[in-house]
Chains A and B, each alone.
Chain A
Amino acid sequence: MHLELTEEQRMIQAMARELAESEIASVADEIDREARFPHETVKRMGELGLMGIAIPEQWGGSGSDTIAYVVALEEIAKVCASHAVVMSVDNSLYGEPVLRSGTDAQRERFLKPVASGHAHGCFALTEPEAGSDARNQHTLARRDGDHYVLNGRKLFITNGREASFALVFCQTDAARAHHGITAFVVEKGTPGFTVAKTEDKLGLRASDTAELVFEECRVPVANRLGDEGMGFTIAMATLDGGRIGIAAQAVGIAAGAFERSLAYARERKAFGARIGDHQMVQWMLADMATAIDAARLLTHRAAWLKDREEPYGVAAAMAKLFASDTAMRVTTDAIQVHGGYGYIKEYRVERYFRDAKITQIYEGTSQIQKLVIARDVLGGHDDRA
């Protein structure tokens, strides 16, 4: 048992915190209000190596580990959850599967630019009728010589408009159901690939969530990630890892809202005392602090297991479930601590509250996490592969 970050992990954490506080904090409210993708600060994150933290240096990454990734992501999310989600998609939803399932030639072309912060990737699995029921893929890819021809729509794709590379899951053999799903890297600008619209959202308003449309889109066979039929396995393994990042994002959102609540409780006076002196507020603060710590420990454990190359899917599901519920509860209480001021944008906990909700939904809803956990504790088989 060793609950301590290494010196390097602490340095990475400190760097991310400094970047978040001195460059991201000043734009976070504005980009939320204007629903504007923060190109400049996201570029800075890329330059500093935050978009490929656990990707080996050979492929443009920083060659660090999952723990460094989660501590850095938490620091960014503490200040702005929109920046954090861009980071999580480039690192884990796009970078990971291309690293793990790509050939060297594919890593060179499709991973290096993203891991080194020069381009973005996105992960296109969700469809209008395939959310939690991810097997129900209707996007089709039919083989035609040395190409595949893609037809279909992908929905709610984070980074969808900004990404230079889309990891797209398609049905190549409908008869084989989810064993007929195949993954492709589709480059922006490929004829037949368009971004149809950007969604107007409750939270994460500065991140870009888009609908991707494929119409007779010809993709070279060289862009196929893994073999035909491997797509669903790739997607599920990716989401296991992605959930660790979302857990870290949720911890960050909660921790950011908590810090603000704490500052407010020390400052605001009511009934002749600081509100932090009142037991009912203390109660809320104590619950917040405890839940955040527990969520963080679950997240770090999942990251630690992944770094040790041990099974981590259930640990990641538990971390994501608990951390996202924590983010929702803590941000709700953060507004409560602030009273009427908490409901006003100026005090910022309102943004944290709106940003928290999605963590219970994307990369597997809380209900899907419970399914994963229940199957494990009941000893049921994992039929996802």
Chain B
Amino acid sequence: MKILVLVKQVPDTATQVKIGANPKAIDTAGITWIVSPYDEFAVEEALRIKEKRGQADVVAVTLGPDRAKEALRSCLAMGCDRAIHLNDPAWAEADTLATAKALAAVVKQESPELVLTGRQAIDDDMGAVPAQVAELLGWPCAYWIMEEAVDGDGKTARTGRQVEGGLEIFDVPLPAVLSAQKGLNEPRYPTLKGIMGAKKKEIKDVKAGDLGLGAETPQLSVVALEALPPRPPGRIIQGDVPTAVKELVRSLREDAKAI
């Protein structure tokens, strides 16, 4: 069984994001880059499927600049067998659709039985790529999965998808695209041997031309980034308890309209 895991390199969750000199982008100076945490769940799930089945070809795929190779090497250190790096100036301005087109083209070339990815990348939080890839391929797609079990002959995957208050269980025919929600699993740490072995594994570089694609005008363009307004300070209600409670209830009702 072949599994493609689509990952994105994003700023570390602890990063204080600043808007760059170009107001349409963030300042990337000094940022520590990581594999988007939801994508790590996808990598972990792929590795578990492989371990359960005894064998599988797990391929990590990313679209990004040179630095994104480090994210691929993290996936290889965790245990992925090989990686594919979509790296081309033609994708410098890629929006989710352009990204999905490139990824779908790789999926077509590799023709895996399963594509796993995170429910969204934690940088721009668009969460669009998994569905777009599935749509472009004409494959079924289950989002926000918390449980997954590929059947013995690799024809369907039973998936539990998070919905309000419970799980929605689907039998998804393969090939399919599944996107991982937190809770699907607990990603492993790479072992030292895994880290040392990662450089011996293949990372294939792919250009837009290799997929028969060229630069295209993004459907979605960023006009500007704005910093969040500073959070207003909290308010402490003074006075004795009965009066203060009354004021709190009034304020929640009338000022905050929370109740």
Contacts and interface: CB of A to CB of B under 8 A. Distances in A.
B231 interface: no
A12 B196 CA distance: 9
A8 B195 CA distance: 6
Contacts of A47: 191
B193 A62 contact: yes
Interface in A1-57: 7-8, 11-12, 15, 18-19, 47-50, 53, 57
Nearest to A11: B195
A48 B189 CA distance: 8
Interface residues of B, number: 13
B189 A18 contact: yes
A62 B77 CA distance: 13
A294 B192 CA distance: 27
A68 to B, nearest CB: 8
A11 B73 contact: yes
B73 A7 contact: yes
A53 B70 contact: no
A15 B196 CA distance: 13
B195 A57 contact: no
A375 to B, nearest CB: 36
A49 B73 contact: no
A64 B191 contact: no
A62 B194 CA distance: 9
Contacts of B190: 11, 15
B52 interface: no
A266 to B, nearest CB: 14
A48 B192 contact: yes
Residues of B contacting A: mostly? helix
B189 A12 contact: no
A52 to B, nearest CB: 8
A15 B70 CA distance: 14
Given A8-B199, A11-B77, A49 B192 contact: yes
A57 B193 contact: yes
B77 A49 contact: no
B193 A63 contact: yes
Contacts of B199: 8
A276 B69 CA distance: 40
Interface string B196-213: 101100000000000000
B93 to A, nearest CB: 27
Contacts of A57: 193, 196
Interface string B39-59: 000000000000000000000
Interface of B: 70, 73-74, 77, 189-193, 195-196, 198-199
Interface of A: 7-8, 11-12, 15, 18-19, 47-50, 53, 57, 62-64, 68
28 contacts: A7-B70, A8-B196, A8-B198, A8-B199, A11-B77, A11-B190, A11-B198, A12-B192, A12-B195, A18-B189, A19-B189, A47-B191, A48-B191, A48-B192, A49-B191, A49-B192, A49-B193, A57-B196, A62-B191, A62-B192, A62-B193, A62-B195, A62-B196, A63-B193, A63-B196, A64-B192, A64-B196, A68-B192
Can you list the 8 inter-chain pairs with the closest CB atoms, starting with the nearest? A49-B192, A62-B192, A11-B195, A49-B191, A48-B191, A15-B189, A63-B196, A49-B193
Given A49-B192, A64-B192, 7 more contacts: A7-B73, A8-B198, A11-B198, A12-B195, A48-B191, A48-B192, A49-B191
